């Protein structure tokens, strides 16, 4: 039987745009207590208009290890627990091919997409072990399952690492009642597309998976029984540009 969202304390990172924003709204309106984190304070303020009390806005750069730990500690001290982490914070760069990428560009992607994910996952695991229960949903990518020239080497490397990290959490923490899911979307019509080297048309974006679609899937994962672990899920547009180009 599916669980209810009511009374679940859910920390959503990357909540100021895209999948994270849609997830925060969907989970909050479904009855969860949402702690919404993102780098852009003004976007968090706008998000608040679509959230339902109780909620908390926590400006955060996930690449800042100390700030991540302080945010997790605040949640635990204030609410007594963290039931779910939805880690959606991530980025990519425009100059991503091997003939363009710089060490600074590589480091920017890895620091946010992989190290930032580690900081957030690591920050909640202790509390979840003490609780004997907890769910982590890491928003990975199609590029975490299939190396993608479109996504670039740094992003593919980070997301492959994120998938491996997620499964290692299951291997070492399943006996503590902790579950982790690597959610791997194909093309989703979010702001990250704005940094593509080749612009994506409005027509193509309309055919992609939408943030709200992924948010509904996230809510389903949250509601699954505690004895069920969805280790990895891949979701893509029916009109899959990668398949079409390959054909």
Q: Which of 74, 119, 155, 243 is catalytic?
A: 155
CA atoms within 13 A on the CB side of 214: 33
CA 170: distance to chain centroid?
17
- Give dist(CA 38, CA 13) in Å, integer: 6
- Cβ-in-10-Å burial (0-12, 13-18, 19+) of 127 comes to middle
Q: Where are the beta strands (DSSP E) in the chain?
A: 9-13, 33-38, 55-59, 84-87, 134-139, 178-185, 232-235
**In the annotation, is 155 catalytic?**
yes
- Give dist(CA 185, CA 140) in Å, integer: 7
Residues classed as catalytic: 155
């Amino acid at each position: 039987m599916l669980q209810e969202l009511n009374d679940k304390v859910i920390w959503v990172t990357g909540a100021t745009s895209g999948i994270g924003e849609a997830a925060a709204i969907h989970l909050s309106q479904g009855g969860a207590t949402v702690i919404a984190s993102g780098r852009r304070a003004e976007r968090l303020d706008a998000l608040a208009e679509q959230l339902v009390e109780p909620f908390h806005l926590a400006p955060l750069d996930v690449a800042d290890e100390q700030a991540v730990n302080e945010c997790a500690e605040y949640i635990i001290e204030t609410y007594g627990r963290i039931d779910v982490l939805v880690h959606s914070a991530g980025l990519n760069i425009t100059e991503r091919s091997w003939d363009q990428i710089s060490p600074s560009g590589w480091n920017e992607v890895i620091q946010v997409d992989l190290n930032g994910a580690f900081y957030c996952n690591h920050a909640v695991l202790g509390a979840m072990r003490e609780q004997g229960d907890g769910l982590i949903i890491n928003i990975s990518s199609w590029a975490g399952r299939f190396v993608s020239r479109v996504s670039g080497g740094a992003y593919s490397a980070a997301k492959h690492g994120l998938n491996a990290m997620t499964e290692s959490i299951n291997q070492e923490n399943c006996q503590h009642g902790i579950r982790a899911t690597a959610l791997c979307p194909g093309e989703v019509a979010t702001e990250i597309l704005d940094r593509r080297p080749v612009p994506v048309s409005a027509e193509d974006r309309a055919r992609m998976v939408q943030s709200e679609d992924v948010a509904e899937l996230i809510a389903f994962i949250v509601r699954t029984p505690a004895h069920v672990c969805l280790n990895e899920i891949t979701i893509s547009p029916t009109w899959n540009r990668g398949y079409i180009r390959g054909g």
